[in-house]
Amino acid sequence: MRDVLVLNGPNLGRLGTREPDVYGATTFKDLVEICETAGRELGLSVEVRQTDDEAEMVGWIHGAADSRTPVILNPAAFTHYSYALRDALAQRTAPLIEVHISNPAAREEFRHTSVVAAVANGTIAGFGVQSYVLALRAIAEM
């Protein structure tokens, strides 16, 4: 089985209670189960992580680059300003897909710019937690 990291940035550990009108009722625990189940069906070994700490996220990205592990990343707020994360992602050695539960382009103007999109293979956004499943399918086919 191919290993895949599914990494989530700030506040995503609060899914289910955080702005359910934007992010839905699915909890982070539910998201983990959805990703692990979809991964098994696709022949992928999926590990899901979440952090509110930029330095921890950068460390995970470095580890993924060193081990040539594909990454599905929901950078959350880091999307719009974390040049440290963007620079770490530029060192990738395996596929990288940026995901978002909501569609940032349809939200506040400050969310319209992703500093990480240019170093990703692609971005999947606006399909709720199914964005992750679509990203796992893409990784499985790469």
Annotated binding site for substrate: 74, 80, 87, 101-102, 111
Burial class (CB in 10 A: 0-12, 13-18, 19+), 25: exposed
**Binding site, residues?**
74, 80, 87, 101-102, 111
At position 13, the amino acid (one-letter code) is G
Judge whether 132 and 72 are in contact, CB under 8 Å: yes
If you search the block for the tokens 């990288």, which residue do you land on? 96
Short-list 115, 118, 29, CA closest to 75: 115
Active site residues: 23, 100
